[in-house]
A and B are shown apart, each in its own frame.
Chain A
Amino acid sequence: MEGEFNLKGDPLVSIVSAGLSKFGKLEGLYAREIFAEAAKEAFDRCPKLDPKEDVRALFVGHMGESYEHQGHTGATMADWAGLLHIPATRTEAACASSGVALRAGIYAVLSGLCDVVMVGGVEKMTHRTTPEVTEYLAMASDYPFEQWHGITFPGLFALMATAHMHEYGTTERQLAMVAVKNHHHGSLNPKAHMQKEIALENALSSRAIAWPLKLFDCSLITDGASCLILTKPELAKKFTDTPVHIVGSGQASDTIGLYEREVFTSLAAAKLAAKKAYEMADAKPEDIDLAEVHDCFTIAEIIAYEDLGFCNPGEGGKLVESGETKLEGRLPVNTSGGLKAKGHPVGATGTAQAYEMYLQLTGQADRRQVENAETGLTHNVGGSGATATVHIYRRG
């Protein structure tokens, strides 16, 4: 049974502020210090908010204790954000950890328990070696049948890529086009981990990580944090003249093992989450002006286009080739640079996508601003798709 929220486009909650740390290799910083940087930006952007008085709970996404030998992330981040004593909860759903934190924040506000909450996420990764990070990221997948048999995290998406190429004729060149596009967008984002363009030929000739995926098909190992301040729609104007409303929210799950699924060319959880979010928002894929999708690997962006209804199944490769998902295209995707160029501090990614949507829908995206953007969508995937969240945003 499901609760009846027949909202039909009415706001669920409103975002009144947002913060993002610099993304990149943040040497000498600890996760809590990076989270404090994101929180500070959110507080500074919203002078009418009294953090200690107004913020009634924190939900923070974080995937791995192994990176810093540090668990108990909820309380740690509340402490360092200056939000001592409020209920502080860590959410973990691999790379969708903060997409799920955002959902938890929506539950808290909609339930009436909290008028104002902070949601966010954080990960500090770059001080570890690549084999260590590879091992920690693999924990997002099934241990006894996937990790135990040497399947890495890029390996799972490579299994999807091979299947997609076999079934639909998607090419390695089309995969590389996703990387080239997102690096171009990242070059316009001063907070992106990598702010330089890449050439298609260089992407295609980069070394194999998990064939058919190459180095430039993979998102970056990045440090970073992100956060949002959410409130009830009727209170939004108390804090800002330019809120962004969340009008649709979907979350779904799937088998932890990729191998148990009926198809490897689509993520059922993402399709279900999208269906729910579109229904709540009373919106269709054609209504979306821009999207931030979970391009942990280039193939994931192509599958996202299909799962979100931006094109038919199997046509994702052609969609990127058409140029329609570039900044100047009909439906710009990953204007922030995406996980590919902005970077992928896994716990921070879900709310970092929402941060980009907040900037875009309040006209603050500077050189990468999408003109007349009214409605946006974010798509955050955990692991190989055992968790997915989709949110739809509308300019306030």
Chain B
Amino acid sequence: MSEQPPLTVEQFYKYILQGKLMGGKCKKCGKVHLPPRPLCDNCFSKELEWTEIPQKGKLLTYTIIHVAPTQFQGMAPYAVGIVQLENWVQIPGMIRGVALEQIKIGMPLTIDFGECVSTQQWPQWPRYYFKPV
């Protein structure tokens, strides 16, 4: 298994850049980790593999950010939420492609792959977003 990319945040975002939503799966107990982890927090196995994560899910909760950190100030107000994907794992992300007042808990959302933010600084990660199905 040495040719497998490491189960890291860095690699997670490399997959995002390729338009793939990938998580880790424990070969011993079957637990799916999103984000991936190098050590299974359920059974402590280090035998993990990459697995594709469903790109659709439903919105569990959300907020509209009005006062944003420096780097996001130009985007405010914007919506962020926590999405439960079809395999039950949960991830947060910005919600776009829908009027802010039409966002509702329970609405179906799908992942929307963003562009890499090109700066000279760490980290060189792209963003993913959510949009209505």
Q: Which residues of A contact B (CB under 8 A)?
A: 130-132, 134-135, 138, 144-152, 154-155, 158-163, 166, 207-213, 257-260, 264
Query: Looking at the complex, which one of A160, A210, A260 makes contact with B65 (CB distance below 8 Å)?
Result: A210
A265 to chain B, nearest CB (A): 9
Q: Which one, B64, B77, B92, contacts A146 given CB within 8 A?
A: B92
Bound-state Cα–Cα, A158 to B67, Å: 12
**Complex: chain B residue closest to A130, CB-CB:** B67
Interface range on chain B (Cβ under 8 Å from partner): 20 to 34
Q: Is the CB of A149 within 8 A of B69?
A: no
Task: Indicate if the CB atoms of B91 and A131 lie closer than 8 Å.
Answer: no
Other CB < 8 Å A-B pairs besides A158-B65, A258-B82, 6 of them? Answer: A148-B125, A151-B92, A163-B61, A209-B66, A213-B63, A264-B82
Interface of A is mostly: helix
Inter-chain contact A149/B90, CB cutoff 8 Å: no
Q: How far is the CB of A41 from chain B (nearest CB, A)?
A: 34
CB-CB under 8 A from B127, the residues of chain A are 148-149
Across the interface, do A259 and B9 meet the contact criterion of CB distance under 8 Å? no
Q: Assuming the A-B contacts A145-B91, A154-B67, A210-B66, are A264 and B61 also in contact, with contact meaning beta carbons closer than 8 angstroms in the complex?
A: yes
Residues of B within 8 A of A146 (CB): 92
Q: Contact: A162 with B62, CB < 8 Å?
A: yes
Residues 56-73 of chain B: 1 if any A CB is under 8 Å from the residue's CB, otherwise 0? Answer: 000011111111111011
Determine if A144 and B35 form an interchain contact, defined as CB atoms under 8 angstroms apart: yes
With a cutoff of 8 Å between Cβ atoms, the chain A residues found around residue B75 in the complex are 150
CA distance A152 to B9 in the complex (A): 20
Q: Does B93 contact A (CB under 8 A)?
A: yes
- Residues of A close to B81: CB separation below 8 A: 159
B72 to chain A, nearest CB (A): 4
Q: Which of A152, A160, A166 contacts B105 (CB 8 A)?
A: A166
| Known pairs A144-B9, A163-B60; A149 contacts B66 (CB<8 A) | no
Q: A146-B92, A150-B94 are in contact. Are A159 and B62 (CB under 8 A)?
A: yes
B30-64 contacts to A, CB under 8 A, are 35, 60-64
In the bound assembly, the distance between CA atoms of A210 and B68 in angstroms comes to: 9
Q: Is the CB of A159 within 8 A of B82?
A: yes
| A151→B80 contact, CB < 8 A | yes
13 sampled A-B residue pairs with Cβ under 8 A:
A147-B69, A149-B92, A150-B68, A150-B94, A151-B80, A152-B65, A159-B82, A161-B63, A163-B105, A208-B77, A210-B66, A210-B67, A257-B92
Chain A CB within 8 A of B78 CB = yes
- Among B64, B69, B91, B92, point to the contact of A211 (Cβ < 8 A): B64
Shortest A253–chain B CB gap in Å is: 13
In the complex, which residue of chain B has the Cβ closest to the Cβ of A147? Answer: B69
Q: Closest Cβ of chain B: how far from A287's Cβ, in Å?
A: 34
In the bound complex, CA of A167 to CA of B34 (Å): 25
The 8 nearest A-B residue pairs measured at CB = A158-B63, A211-B64, A163-B61, A259-B92, A135-B69, A208-B66, A150-B72, A131-B70
Chain A positions within 8 Å of B92 at CB level: 145-146, 149, 151, 257-259
- Picked from A155, A207, A260, the residue with its CB within 8 Å of the CB of B63 is A155
Which residue on B lies nearest to A260, using beta carbons?
Answer: B90
Query: A199 to chain B: closest CB distance in Å?
Result: 22
Give chain B residues whose Cβ lies under 8 Å from the Cβ of A151.
Answer: 65, 80, 92
List the A side residues contacting B68 at CB < 8 Å: 131, 134, 150, 152
- Contacts A155-B80, A159-B82, A259-B82 known; A150 to B90 CB distance under 8 Å? no
Residue of A132, A151, A154, A211 with highest tally of chain B CB at under 10 A: A151
Measured CB to CB, the nearest residue on chain B to A265 is B61
CB closest residue in chain A, given B41: A255
Residue of A nearest to B64 (CB): A211
Whether B93 contacts A210 by the Cβ 8 Å rule is no
Contact B61 A162 (CB under 8 A): yes
CA separation between A130 and B70, bound complex, in Å?
9
Q: Which residue in chain B gives the minimum CB-CB distance to A261?
A: B90
Given contacts A148-B127, A149-B80, A149-B94, whether A134 and B69 have CB atoms under 8 Å apart is: yes
In angstroms, Cα B123 to Cα A211, docked, is: 29
Residues of chain A with a CB closer than 8 A to B62's CB: 159, 162
User: In whole Å, how far is B133's beta carbon from the nearest beta carbon of chain A?
Assistant: 20
Residue on A with the closest CB to B90? A259
CB-CB < 8 A to A212: which residues of B? 63
Chain A, Cβ-Cβ closest to B83: A259
Contact of B66 among A131, A135, A166, A211 (CB under 8 A): A211
